[in-house]
Chains A and B, each alone.
Chain A
Amino acid sequence: MKENIKKVLVLGSGALKIGEAGEFDYSGSQALKAIKEEGIHTVLINPNIATVQTSEGVADTVYFLPVTPFFVEKVIAKERPDGILLAFGGQTALNCGVVLYQSGVLEKYDVRVLGTPVQAIMDTEDRELFVRKLDEIGVKTIKSEAVDNIVDARRAAKELGYPVIIRAAYALGGLGSGFCDNEEELDVLAEKAFSFSPQVLVEKSLKGWKEVEYEVVRDRFDNCITVCNMENFDPLGIHTGESIVIAPSQTLTNSEYHKLRELAIRIIRHIGIVGECNVQYAFDPESEDYRVIEVNARLSRSSALASKATGYPLAFVAAKLGLGYGLFDLKNSVTKTTSAFFEPALDYVVCKIPRWDLGKFHGVARELGSSMKSVGEVMAIGRTFEEAIQKGLRMIGQGMHGFVENKELVIPDIDKALHEPTDSRIFVISKAFRAGYTVDQIHELTRIDRWFLQKLYGIMQTDKELRAFDMKGIQRWRLDPALIRRAKVQGFSDFQIARALGLDDDIEKGMMQVRQFRKEHNILPVVKQIDTLAAEYPAQTNYLYLTYSGTENDVQYVGDRRSIVVLGSGAYRIGSSVEFDWCGVQALNTIRKEGWRSVMINYNPETVSTDYDMCDRLYFDELTFERVMDILELENPHGVIVSTGGQIPNNLAMRLDEQHVNILGTSAKSIDNAEDREKFSAMLDRIGVDQPRWKELSSMEDIHAFVDEVGFPVLVRPSYVLSGAAMNVCSNQDELERFLKLAANVSKKHPVVVSQFIEHAKEVEMDAVADKGEIVMYAISEHIEFAGVHSGDATIQFPAQKLYVETVRRIKRISKQIAKELNISGPFNIQYLAKGNEIKVIECNLRASRSFPFVSKVLKINFIELATRIMLGLPVEKPNKNEFDLDYVGIKASQFSFNRLQKADPVLGVDMASTGEVGCIGDDLSEAVLKSMLSVGYRIPAKNILLSTGTPKQKVAMLDAAKMLAAKGYNLYATGGTYRFLAENNIPCTQVYWPSEQGEPQALTMLHEKKIDMVVNIPRDLSAGELDNGYKIRRAATDLNIPLITNARLASAFIEAFCTLSIDDIQIKSWQEYK
């Protein structure tokens, strides 16, 4: 090492949110590893407790605190690090670092920024500086010219070259903007734009240009490499995070590839990056013209993808370069012998596909555009483009089987759907081909390069040939093996083939028939290595994928049954994200520690579990039954772990079991008994455990009869969803009718499950590990919100703070009974309702749950390690520590990304909406609540608070909090009912008016004028008027970045916290200091 550094501070990115997700756990973990192996003490600030980087043994000291200048400065003052890394925690860390630099904090405490200097960061972040900087070296950027008359507009357009975009300056929502292909069109549009605004921006239109990215690395000796380039499937205009991305580029010639590469290197040198950055280009599809879109002077989502796509550990290398190393000092971590100064050669193609969850939100705009909405992504590897994209379309896990043979989409206007892309754009293309559109027609409407479309068309053609076999009826098994081989090379699954062949009466059987046929004709996948050098040099690499374009396996299988396969968690989505990556990594670590070979199957490029360092073999491939079986047949493991990767592996358990796969831990049959609603209910009845009443119903009469019995409110879960969210609580007849009409089509084929919904009940979670039916370790935590808020959105306190001793006792007793009955060996989670001392079971999962990392880290007992040891058949002792010994409390709070989801109603309900979470520890409840709320982006309000607190019951629940606010000197503003209620209780407040009311002041106006510092808006029910008024307030608060709380109990907890504690009262204590 070249620098004298003993302690380094690393900033994390906080909770997962849209645009900033798991990729930064991966980058940060790599950076910490790179620094730690130099013998440097590492300090990490990251409130995201579910991450791998905040686990024991990764950083030396961990602070679960907000990554904001205030807290980072306090940590710096306490820890006095020599250096700080800003590039590994996304935009959050970068922005925070820039503020600390500008405010002189870094200088004050003599903290050196390692890697890219802050000035270089500012040069890339500030649009004007950036353009000027690139102008200095004659590199073209996207410029717009501001003009104030039509003559100048014409001149500017001429200089920029048509087509141009005209925008009215200072106009929101794109008023007065549009494309012009020539001067006539410009005259018309410019006139209109000038009517909105005195100033008009003229910008070159790059509509339809290709989008290409390069990942570039530079050391302080000015040596540069481009590790990877990537090409977007979608043309410019769709955020790169929303686009399907292919690496390496497919449609660029050598001259184009190297022209952009050379530019990227010139740019990174001129800006002065030390470490890693990415350069994004717009590239003309009709010439070699280009524009630089932006440069990210930090590790990014793309760099995580590039690392996984190439096997080049960008974050690890960037951290080393920050310490002063040269690229020539470092080794290629795959070959271990060749230099890290090189550019990987791929002998495969990768395809990244985003995962959206827009269906979870009410009212959200589904169009894709320049802002990101996806919540996760997958990466698929193949030796043909078709193989990679079809794998990827299955991996996104939204019920699709590839490019063809999916459930038919209903697209009223294909032209429009092609032209205005939404989250289902790729399937619209499939639909269009089916409807007879040509490659050229689709190209005209989408501007997607013909090459990609031709490849997709080829998939469609093969599908047609397969379908033709069905026509031959009994002859269907006179199949041409060459056709099946071609289909497999093009990435068809056995499911797709079976369906195309018309074997979908019993599709499971059909798939097995196809599998059998393949085996008979030796149509089998082969395993290939990712070695960074395309086999030019020998490499001992464990980074693997499967392909049908090959005749030989790269690895030898010894068949000693000493390996354990862990199934990963797939794409991050709402409801399953970094917490299951943590679980998977802990399982891998334990397997290795116990002397077995660990094998991971997963395909999420944002994860640590897909880092080839984490296991003995990594199969970066699908988690479908077909692919998992392919791998198991080759690998012949001792057993498979299905309980640490969330629902995807859990769902495979039964089918793997049928194929006599050794499922470690709890048996597949038990898993089924817990998953199957009927079987589980029967079991609870048998052992005398209570649960909310429910029934599966297939007619309106039956539904009404059941509701008459149990009373409103009820929870309604349709099995077939037409639109909108999948579940809803209905509190009266009107809502029930409306929801069923709107969302579900009740019939024999599509029954709905209706459950009794218990109001004002506490929700309690039991996370536990059992060995042969006996509980070895458990954690009982309590939701702050009452039942009705999805457990993934709820704020969770651990240890439980306000449960009756009797409640806890009953929960323990029931959990014991269930563990015994299902003979659980491994992790499990049970959710309970508690009202008074009455306990009901809502749900039971025989796998690790979302809260496992949280309770493990608060309790400092690794639940997954225990569970894994049990699954390996090793003896475990009951830890002699439990939650009742803790002198501190942990709070897990949820992160929402509503600001990214235009038009979505930011309200919580029975369906999960949060994209991430934090977990903070405090000496008491209030401190932990305050830390965690600040960590998910809330601010302590300055003075004005707007209250609309819902139903009378909720109003009462909020009364104490309102009193506290008033006593603390806050100005309260309240809408009608709330105003009257507060006035009656002698709490001073000012009345404001709903959008639908006449009167001043208007709540919305106050929000827009930034007169409100916090909004508490509790929806009363789902009636139309209430929804509309409330929606407008909630949405405005979200769009204007004003903290919003929609739950009375959470609002009360937060208000109590900041009324009793000030921000300076928050202790700067590391995780290690809580003992």
Chain B
Amino acid sequence: MTQHMDYMQKEKKATLILDDGTVFRGISFGADKNIAGEVVFNTAMTGYPESLTDPSYAGQLMVLTYPLAGNYGVPPRIFNEEGIATFMESEKIHAEAIIVSDYSHEYSHWNAVESLGDWLKDEGVPGIYGIDTRALTKKLREHGVMMGRIIIGDDDKENVSGFGQYGNVNYVDNVSCKEVITYAGGKKRVVLVDCGVKHNIIRSLLKRNVTVIRVPWDYDFNQLEYDGLFLSNGPGDPDTCDAAVQNIRKALQGDKPICGICMGNQLLAKAGGASIYKLKYGHRSHNQPVRMVGTEKCFVTSQNHGYAVDNDTLGTEWEPLFINMNDGTNEGIRHKTKPFFSAQFHPEACSGPTDTEFIFDDFVALL
């Protein structure tokens, strides 16, 4: 580790412009590239390598409310022979940019091989520090979601148009695998519908000794031989994933266990006839409390979503499984008679608390 603070001489300005014209000025520490996207925040205090590689962040500029970033550097970008990342959640950074208050140019960790800044540069992703991320977060919270642009360098007089439209892009299609991948494991076969799956979902299933057949988001898995169906997380608006909903609807006719996570919860709900709406205050943190309906069991969960299932539209066959203890919104559903259930939160954690890993146990036990 060097002690040269030469970055101070070559620091480069960076500007974030929101679609309402608000300007935040900071300093660049990532790739030298202008970019636009949906600006979202996350209140997690750890886990930037996991979050940045989470495909659910595709198309988004990620604001960290915890002010210090980069402290422990970045672990090696290594993969096993089946292509599953050892320390990250996918093959690459999916977020469009990262916005922080204070960046640690120097890092310290036994497992780190590079700094956050170097990693961002290498993958062509901009990063800004020196931003009042609390002020920014409050603005995003009140507006719901905003589009934003990042401009690197002094050239911030560029016109304010060209923010793009987050809703217009099918991010699921962008991040999903393009062909079927089989991860050999035990006898039981689980079809994993990849809407932008985090690798820890794959790891969590494989750890429970099942064979995972990862299929593209719009793949008709009903033709496959399988014992259970798993619906992954993913970026963007669930309404762009109609093909998946149609396939799931077919599966609902049968009795094979189905489990969904995050986007998977919404797709399962839609397939079951429920509707989805956009939350006033999205859930983007590691500290979301959920309660299992009808019990005194509560869990702290990791979440990252702006859409929610409307409890009131659940069909008569369905019921809420988990409820958010802060705002009472839906955090999971289950079928009253069949082995179908899902969670709006992330039982696979990475990053975040591991309280709800039992979801995988419950699913595998049903196979």
Contact = CB atoms under 8 A, between A and B. Distances in A.
Contacts, number: 183
Contact of B354 (A225, A262, A385): A262
Given A253-B72, A261-B353, A535 B137 contact: yes
A426 interface: no
Contacts of A337: 326
A345 B326 contact: no
A602 to B, nearest CB: 23
A361 to B, nearest CB: 37
A160 to B, nearest CB: 21
Interface in A202-234: 221-223, 225
A533 B287 contact: yes
B281 A251 contact: no
Interface of A: 221-223, 225, 248, 250-255, 257-258, 261-262, 265, 285-287, 326-328, 337-339, 341-349, 383-385, 438-440, 449-451, 454-455, 457-458, 461, 489, 526, 528, 533-538, 549-552, 554
A440 B353 contact: no
B102 to A, nearest CB: 5
Contacts of B289: 338-339, 341-342
Interface string B282-326: 011111110100001110100000000000000000000000011
Interface string B188-221: 0000000000000000000000000000000000
- Closest 8 A/B residue pairs (Cβ): A254-B47, A451-B108, A339-B325, A534-B43, A552-B135, A345-B43, A534-B65, A254-B351
Q: Is the interface of B mostly helix, strand, loop or mixed?
A: loop
Given A253-B109, A342-B326, A223 B297 contact: yes
B352 interface: yes
B134 A338 contact: no
Given A341-B298, A549-B101, A384 B67 contact: yes
B67 A451 contact: no
Contacts of A222: 297
B3 A457 contact: yes
Contacts of B101: 383-384, 549
20 contacts: A250-B68, A253-B109, A254-B46, A258-B354, A262-B354, A285-B110, A339-B326, A345-B286, A346-B66, A347-B67, A347-B137, A383-B67, A384-B101, A385-B68, A454-B108, A455-B104, A526-B132, A534-B65, A535-B137, A536-B41
B227 interface: no
A451 B72 CA distance: 8
A337 B328 CA distance: 11
B65 A535 contact: yes
Given A345-B286, A383-B102, A221 B132 contact: no
Contact of B285 (A526, A528, A534): A534
Contacts of B135: 550-552
B67 A343 contact: no
B50 interface: yes
B326 A253 contact: no
Interface in B118-153: 132-135, 137-138, 141
Contacts of A225: 300
Contact of A454 (B106, B110, B355): B106
Interface in B62-76: 65-68, 71-72, 75
A551 B26 CA distance: 11
Kindly name the residue among B65, B284, B288 whose own CB sees the greatest number of chain A CB atoms within 10 A.
B65
A538 B141 contact: yes
B155 to A, nearest CB: 19
Given A326-B298, A339-B326, A347-B137, 18 more contacts: A253-B75, A285-B110, A328-B291, A328-B325, A338-B325, A341-B300, A344-B287, A345-B44, A385-B68, A450-B106, A451-B106, A454-B106, A461-B8, A534-B43, A535-B137, A536-B137, A537-B326, A550-B135
Given A550-B134, A551-B135, A251 B296 contact: no
B108 A554 contact: no
Kindly name the residue among B281, B291, B298, B350 whose own CB sees the greatest number of chain A CB atoms within 10 A.
B298
Nearest to A343: B287
A437 to B, nearest CB: 10
Kindly name the residue among A440, A536, A537 whose own CB sees the greatest number of chain B CB atoms within 10 A.
A536
B134 A345 contact: no
B327 to A, nearest CB: 8
Kindly name the residue among B50, B134, B289, B354 whose own CB sees the greatest number of chain A CB atoms within 10 A.
B134
B104 A451 contact: yes
A326 B325 CA distance: 13
A864 B5 CA distance: 53
